[in-house]
Structure 1
Amino acid sequence: MPGYPHSESDGFVPLPFGAQIVPALGGPGAPVRVVDCGLVDGRPVVISDGPDHLVRLWDLASHRQIGPPLEGESSISVWSLAFGTLDGRPVAVRGHGDLTIWELTGHGRTERPAEPRYVRYNARGSIYAVACGVLGERSIAVTGAYDRTVRVWDLADGTPVGAPLTGHESVVRAVAVGVLAQRTIAVTGGEDNTVRVWDLSKGGRHGRPLTGHTEPVRAVAVGMLDGRPVAVSGSDDHTLRLWDLPTGRQIGPTMTGHTGAVRSVALAAPDGVPIIISGSSDYSVRVWDARTGEQIGMPLTDGRTLGIDSVAYSLLGGRPRVVAADGYGFARIWNLDAHRAMGPGSPTRYAAELPGTWTDPDSGDVYDLTGPLVDDEGGEWKYVDFDGFEPLVTDTDDPRLGLSVAFAHYEWGFSDIVTPGPPAPAFTPITTEECPSWGPAGASAAMAAEGRERRPPVHVL
């Protein structure tokens, strides 16, 4: 949704959605599925990849795309994306069967993005997960694949480092890189329900498999807890577990609360307080106290999402932010300071005053919101909120379960309240002079472009 000037200083923080900062990244012309965070040219950025197989950089402060998209060979679904460094320079690394590597220095100052370099995965199977780190003086990528192996690659020349690491009995779905006793390690999760630790300096296993999950492990992250190296894992069994890496023992209780598969996790310590962040197919992002295993505050939810595929953590001006990519091609950003201040509850509405009419900037459709909202199937709706960018409606009694009125119009029709606009203009490629910002509206255009069928409403708690 181009044309909305925005920066975080504008103060758009819709509290009913867990202190989300709008607009979201991505959208119909720049869909997002996986994200990571890092620094490029000294500023915090979000790196994203999506179903259009284009890697994009986004300014975390302005929510605007930086420079042109990064193109590379890809004909299959995007599975993993990692931010790394090569000789101190930022790079983006994508795992999508093979590895693709892009140099990011100066990307926002050029009209011609860096040419990709490829690492061909010639073994049986293909790469599913990737993470970046440093091994000695080498910048490396560590991958997990369908052939059950974990492999280490030199980012400088794309050559393998050592022999494949074997032990998983099924697909390796998640990888993280960390340090244990001053040695570089990898932590991996697989469809064999286990978490495994690898000493990359020795090229072998470290300790026994970490067991306890009852379904595939799809997410792992590493960090520190009170001076000790730890790993967190998330599984299709809806739970998270925290592991002490020196001993291989589970720390504290199993974290429960998600009602869907845990697809992504992150470890962080804003203001020195260790936390775990998790994203799930149950449409929520949750924040946990790493010391107690208790959930902090309310789940971060938005009725406009379709599951959370990827989460990342970053600092902006020294303050914590969570970036979460959802199943509709958006990456939503939450302010953890505001989330912590809210406690377990939230206001019922963000907008002090609801506008009576709204024009969809994508379609030009004009919505009259002053009277009853009845869809073309006879369903009754309520106009519950306005987040500064689009009206939100619901057909439930919970005002937090808001859908974009444009999306509801596409799915169920609101013929009596909509005056159709002119045909939407063709998408214009983004340039470095004017990087448009795509907000959370425009779901109707996205659904139409992808030819999706109608489905029941998505409601989350």
Structure 2
Amino acid sequence: MHNLGESLRVVDLHSGSEVRTLAEGRRVNIADILPDSRAAALASGDDGTVCVWDLVSRRRLGDVNLGCSISAGVALTWPDGRSVAVVGGKDGLLRAVDIATVQVIGTPISAHSGPVGALTAVRLPDGRQAVISAGHDGVVQAWDPVSARSIGHPLLLDSDVFTLHGVSRRKAPQLLIGGNGLACMELRLDEH
């Protein structure tokens, strides 16, 4: 897990100046910007609470406690257009949080036998979004977050994965995997 520090800071990239500090005094383990037209941020600390802020109004939209320490997260758009955060916990589960209602939705996914180390989202050639998770168990797996089903076969590694970055491509998404080494691979996924 990568601790982002004791606060979440919003910085103007043009001027380099800090615009706002959020989650001050909280240990922040994940942060992401939502993919829809709203500028919002989410963060989570060791207490399992996911906090959501609207960056334009600088208003805290709400919190939801997931009952376990959160170690990874990614924001994506659900098929019905909702902005959703998928978060992974030290318990190996993936959970989806509706950003508008700040409520857990869907079925938790039992993704890993240990902590979730990293998450990313990619758009598949058929238009669906997939969440890719990596755990401290050395498993990298694609998931359909709506159906809570795995997509394709897992990639089994002999080391922890600390970071994932997905790039959506027309033919097949590409995935950059970082851990005790670095790998780049193209995802060819068949649902099973």
TM-score over 0.5 for the pair? yes
Q: 1:297 offset after TM fit, Å?
A: 2.7
Q: Quote the residue 2:176 is aligned against.
A: 323
* Distance in 1 of aligned mates of 2:51 and 2:84: 13
CA RMSD for the aligned pairs?
Answer: 2.0
Whether the 8 Å contact between 1:219 and 1:233 is mirrored in structure 2 is yes
What is the CA deviation profile of residues 183-232 of structure 1, one whole-angstrom value per residue up to 9, with x for unaligned ones? 3000112112111111111112112x122242x21211111111111111
Between the aligned partners of 2:122 and 2:67, the Cα distance in structure 1 is 23
The answer as to 2:96 corresponding to 1:242 is: yes
Distance (whole Å) between structure 2 residues aligned to residue 315 and residue 158 of structure 1:
29
The match for 2:23 among 166, 183, 191 is 166
Task: Pick the aligned partner of 1:261 from 89, 92, 115.
Answer: 115
Aligned equivalent of 2:59: 204
The answer to whether the 8 Å contact 2:117/2:160 transfers is no
Secondary structure in 2 matching 1:263: strand
Measured after TM superposition, the shift of residue 176 of structure 1 is 0.2
Determine the C-alpha separation between the residues in 1 that align with 2:143 and 2:31: 21
Secondary structure of the equivalent of 1:299?
A: strand
| Residue in structure 2 matched with residue 86 of structure 1 by the alignment | none
| Length, aligned pairs only | 189
Distance 1:179 1:270, change over 3 A: closer
Other-structure match for 1:276: 131
The answer as to whether partners of 1:243 and 1:249 remain within 8 angstroms in 2 is yes
TM-score, normalised relative to structure 2: 0.88
Higher relative contact order (CA 8 A, sep 6+): 1
Output the amino acid matched with 2:70: V
Percent of aligned positions that are identical? 26
1:314 correspondence with 2:167: yes
Aligned to 1:421: none
Residues 30-85 of structure 1 show CA distances to partners (whole Å, capped at 9, x for unaligned) of xxxxxxxxxxxxxxxxxxxxxxxxxxxxxxxxxxxxxxxxxxxxxxxxx5xxxxxx
Deviation digits for residues 120-157 of structure 1 (CA, Å, limit 9, x no counterpart): xxxxxxxx43xxxxxxxxxxxxxxx2x2x221111222
Deviations 1:399-420 (A, max 9, x none): xxxxxxxxxxxxxxxxxxxxxx
Alignment-mate amino acid for residue 189 of structure 1:
S
1:290 matched to which residue of 2?
145
CA distance 1:238–1:321, change in 2 (3 Å): same
Partner Cα separation in structure 1 for residue 145 and residue 46 of structure 2: 25
Once residues 183 and 314 of structure 1 are traced to their aligned partners in structure 2, the CA distance between those partners, rounded to angstroms, is: 22
Residue pair 1:189, 1:195 contacting (<8 A) in 2 also: yes
Matches within 5 A, 1:261-410: 261-271=115-125, 272-302=127-157, 305-316=158-169, 318-326=171-179, 328=180, 330-337=181-188, 340-341=189-190
C-alpha displacement of 1:316: 4.8
Name stretches of at least 5 consecutive residues in structure 2 with no aligned partner. none
Structure 1 unaligned blocks of 5 or more: 1-78, 80-127, 130-144, 345-461
Contact 2:35 2:77 in 1 (8 A): no
Aligned runs of 1:34-45 on 2, under 5 Å?
Answer: none
SS at match of 2:47: coil
In the other structure, the counterpart of 2:44 is 189
The structure with the largest alpha-carbon Rg is 1
